[in-house]
Structure 1
Amino acid sequence: MSYPGYPPSDGYPAFPGYPPTGQESVYPPAGQYAYPAVPGGFPPSGGGTYPAAPPNAGFPGAAGYPAPGGYPASGGYPGAPQAGGMPPYPGGSGFSVPPTGPGFGGYPQQPPAQSYAGGGPAQIPGFPGGQVPSPMPGLPAAVVQCTQGTIQAAPNFDAGRDAEILRKAMKGFGTDEQAIINVVANRSNDQRQKIKAAFKTMYGKDLIKDLKSELSGNVEELILALFMPSTYYDAWSLRHAMKGAGTQESVLIEILCTRTNQEIREIVNCYKSEFGRDIEQDIRSDTSGHFERLLVSMCQGNRDENQTVDYQKAQEDAQRLYQAGEGKLGTDESCFNMVLASRSFPQLKATVEAYSRIANRDLLSSIDREFSGNVERGLKTIVQCALNRPAFFAERLYYSMKGAGTDDSTLIRIVVTRSEIDLVQIKQMFTQMYQKTLATMIASDTSGDYRKLLLAIVGQ
């Protein structure tokens, strides 16, 4: 596999701030998430119900969220702090989710696929089963679009014309950044590769080198990321997460625990062909223990992708997980690895629901109690993607900008990699979870051409 313009010999210099000095986001912040089962608004499929919580049992360690005597029928948790603008959780169940601080609970589940006019659920690449999710309870059906990405292939595309526009934007004194933004933010990744090839054919120059000479900082990182083939960008991000001193474990988790089998296999092959290295060996040398085993499992790209759910197996897996964790002294980590690394995402969703009935506790809460550090974050990422993949990325985006400073590399990576897959749904979940739009938060956290380009990709 070869990627024009990105020979490893160039070294493809590390982007400014990559890894972000002192700003590497640890996802999720240790001890900050409880993700208890949500009563009321999100009953498990198949008609099951969450058992009533025994006194003070539903939310261990989440001070302020005891549930004496079970869940209140009218929704809302006794003692839940309302200060700080805690928005009502989507679905109208009365459950309030604080967007900041400890006690963030109730990871939203991804609703089942919904049939649209014309018959059958819409098939969309990038979603488990390729199906568009139905809206969250209480959200009008019209909000969910069949088109998932904010960036679409431009109609009447002319690679030569775009190459000419970029050449004029960079020629002479100064750079017309707006002209560059207008092109790159409105072309698909495949079209950008064609522009890159046309540029070299027409002018005998490398577009990437010209862009690097004209741009700097975050806007340079963002534009170069947009011009990388998507598989190469994932492989490049993984390489830089393990290159040099230290390891960016959150990047390894974000990519390896969320991609499809085909995407992972292509990433593994690209990593080998472009960097001359074996990704599994690099993971083994940079990580250890149960976290290493989880990532090696992910690298195989062998997750079951059968979209038919076996509810009997879900019940058996839920019982197995309970006996491996909450139901015994100590934890059988290999059992968690086996189930979460091999089952399909729809199957895992059914397992999570069965687990809540067996353990009287959400699986995410049990993982919180039984694991710690990077393996905890990796296992929870898999469960979160099974429940609601767009909500997982919305949360990652939120914490890349929350507080002092911005984790620009995480912000750029997620916006770029999801821009043609499910950024529409990520934006919707972001608004529901944090009561502000993604565009609003980006606008307040960034500036200049960097802000303009991000907003052009995300859409208003």
Structure 2
Amino acid sequence: MSWYYTPKPTVVPAEDIDASADANALRAAMKGFGTDEQAIIDILCTRSNAQRMQILETYTSELGRDLIEDLKSELGGKFESVIVALLMPSEKFLCKQLHKAMDGLGTDESALIEILAPQTNEEIKKIVDCYEQMYDRPLAEHLCSETDGSFRRLLTMIIVGSRDPQGTVDQELAVEQANQLYNAGEGKFGTDEEVFYKILAHASFDQLEIVFDEYKKLSGRTIEQAMKDELSGELYQALSAIVECVQMAPHFFAKRLHKAMDGAGTNDASLIRIIVSRSELDLQNIKDEYEQMYNKTLLSAVRNECSGDYKRALCAIIGDA
């Protein structure tokens, strides 16, 4: 499967929105006794991010209040987390998630991988610039203080934007790179991890797709099979994520969503992060892939695992179609 799929969002710009009317409707939903949570869902879960930013600004300019602070005072728990996430620019939301993954005791390497592995150079630059603006600290510096070894070097390469631009392909180089990967892993005793992370962090996704095809011709095995035998730990997880995103990003995210809801308890942070951040990109593709992989809809899975306003908000973003 190629990464050249047609991205299909579930949240698209609403037609003819009236930011002033939406702002006043949101204020009305929070005034007086009780809160009209459904009204908040109906507005914020059906507008694009750009439209939500417009509502946010209008709320302040016309009502003299902070919409996010008003919502935080009325809502709570996971429902609040979804609604507040919707009211941030995408890169700001992801920066908060990166900071949360590294803040305090321990590091959530899985979240770092999920956020950084699929990003293009352009997207990474926005995240890097936003992170330093938000936290007055370079993202690279924070990552280096929380990770180590080959995993740290891979993440550093990703965030410094060393990947070739999309569309950069070289068939002869792909054959050479496939040979380098083989000689660094299957073709020798031990593994030269540096070759793996340098190629997978530098080559464009278009180039990597050709490299992986050449690898299979050369060794008779997929790159995934080779990496599973040759690598381990966070480096393997991160490189595996890159491979999956090259081949089909919706497959990668469908797996992450299933994992977030599988077994005892739900990883709500991952669930919210993927559904919100991919809603205007390719959440419809992810839904389709999820149903094909697990023989049930993403909507039904969320309904089974979540409850209350939190469930209703996620389902509104996911959509019925």
Normalised TM-score (structure 1)? 0.68
CA distance in 2: counterparts of 1:222 and 1:162, whole angstroms:
18
Name which of 311, 314, 319 aligns with 1:451.
311
More relative contact order in 1 or in 2 (CA 8 Å, sep 6+)? 2
Q: CA deviation at 1:204?
A: 1.0
* Secondary structure of the corresponding residue to residue 222 of structure 1: helix
Aligned residue for 1:385? 245
2:193 matched to 1:333?
Answer: yes
2:144 matched to 1:263?
Answer: no
Which stretches of structure 1, 4 residues or longer, exceed 6 Å deviation after superposition?
none
Aligned residue for 1:159? 19
2:67 matched to 1:204?
Answer: no
CA 1:204/1:224 → structure 2, altered by over 3 Å: closer, same or farther? same
CA 1:231/1:306 → structure 2, altered by over 3 Å: closer, same or farther? closer
Matches within 5 A, 1:247-396: 247-396=107-256
CA distance in 1: counterparts of 2:207 and 2:49, whole angstroms:
32
2:77 matched to 1:217?
Answer: yes
* RMSD, aligned CA: 1.1
Q: CA deviation at 1:311?
A: 2.1
* Secondary structure of the corresponding residue to residue 65 of structure 2: coil
Unaligned runs of 5+ in 2: none
Q: CA deviation at 1:147?
A: 6.1
Unaligned runs of 5+ in 1: 1-108, 111-127, 134-145
CA distance in 1: counterparts of 2:117 and 2:107, whole angstroms:
16
Percent identity (aligned): 46
CA 1:325/1:192 → structure 2, altered by over 3 Å: closer, same or farther? same
CA distance in 1: counterparts of 2:162 and 2:94, whole angstroms:
18
- One-letter code of the match for 2:27? R
2:92 matched to 1:232?
Answer: yes
Aligned residue for 2:105? 245
Name which of 183, 186, 193 aligns with 2:43.
183
Superposed CA offset, 1:89-147 (max 9, x none): xxxxxxxxxxxxxxxxxxxx23xxxxxxxxxxxxxxxxx6xx5x2xxxxxxxxxxxx66
CA distance in 2: counterparts of 1:376 and 1:156, whole angstroms:
47
CA distance in 2: counterparts of 1:428 and 1:198, whole angstroms:
36
Paired residue total: 320
CA distance in 2: counterparts of 1:363 and 1:172, whole angstroms:
59
Superposed CA offset, 1:282-330 (max 9, x none): 1111000000000000111231124153222211111110000010011
CA distance in 2: counterparts of 1:320 and 1:363, whole angstroms:
12
Name which of 259, 271, 282 aligns with 1:422.
282
* Secondary structure of the corresponding residue to residue 258 of structure 1: coil
Q: CA deviation at 1:148?
A: 1.2
* Secondary structure of the corresponding residue to residue 163 of structure 2: coil
- One-letter code of the match for 1:179? A
